Structures are given as C-alpha cells and as structure tokens.
Amino acid sequence: MSNLSLVLIVLGMFVVTFSIRFVLFASAQKAAMPLWLESGLKYVPVSVLTGIIAPMSLTDNVGLNISLTNPWFVGALVSLVVGVLLKRQLLTISIGVAAFFLAKLLVSP
C-alpha cells in the first residue's frame, strides 16, 4: 500500500469521525434527556471499567484464579480496600499499581 493511499485512508477516517461527532454535538443543545436517564448515565463509567477490570483480575490463561498468587487479583483487591477507605483516586491507583508489581515480583518465578 502506498503512502498516498495511507494518507487518504487516514483523512477519510478523520472526515467520517469528525462529521458524526460534529452533527451529534451541534444538535445536543436542542435535545433534552429525561431526568431518570440523566441520573442513570452517571453509573456508565463505573460499569464499563468494572466490565474491563473484573475479567482481567479474576482470571488467568487457564480460568478462574481468585488467589493471592494472582498479582492482578492482589492489585485489584488492594485498590478496592484503599478506594473504599480513603476515597482518593490517584492514591488508590498508585497503591494498586504498586501492590500489583510487588505481588508480581514476589510470586513470579
């Protein structure tokens, strides 16, 4: 594939993506969401992140692995405890990542 073809493909993707978003954002001021929908949308980021993190933390390449020998599970568990107790996002992420790497260092052969 030539460089010109790649540039045209990227420009085409830009035009399509920009057009769709521009139309949606331009008409967003005119649309009013019901209160029940607006209050329910605040749970979407938490739900999406849980859906991404839970399978990664609770399984390995064999299957379900809920044990302290699973560094992903240890990091998620430490993050959960720190997040519930301290309610500070950056600190929770930092301590969870540190716990993951420490568990990986101690458990991995």
Over residues 85-93, the mean pLDDT reads: 95
Q: Residue 26 has what pLDDT?
A: 80
Q: Residue 109 has what pLDDT?
A: 65
Distance CA(98)–CA(63), nearest Å, equals 25
When pLDDT is cut at 50, 70 and 90, the band that residue 2 belongs to is: confident
Examine the pLDDT at 88 and tell me if it is beyond 70: yes
Q: Residue 71 has what pLDDT?
A: 94
The model's pTM: 0.65
Pick the closest to residue 72 from 84, 63, 59, 85 (CA basis).
Answer: 59
Tokens of 57: 């933390």
Distance CA(77)–CA(5), nearest Å, equals 48
Distance CA(94)–CA(83), nearest Å, equals 11
Distance CA(69)–CA(108), nearest Å, equals 8
Q: Residue 29 has what pLDDT?
A: 73
Strand partners, 20: none
Apex 44 CA angle, 60 and 67, nearest 5:
20
Over residues 79-97, the mean pLDDT reads: 96
Tokens of 44: 């979407």
Summarised one tens digit per residue, pLDDT across range 4-58 is: 999 999 999 999 999 998 888 887 777 788 899 989 999 999 899 999 999 999 9
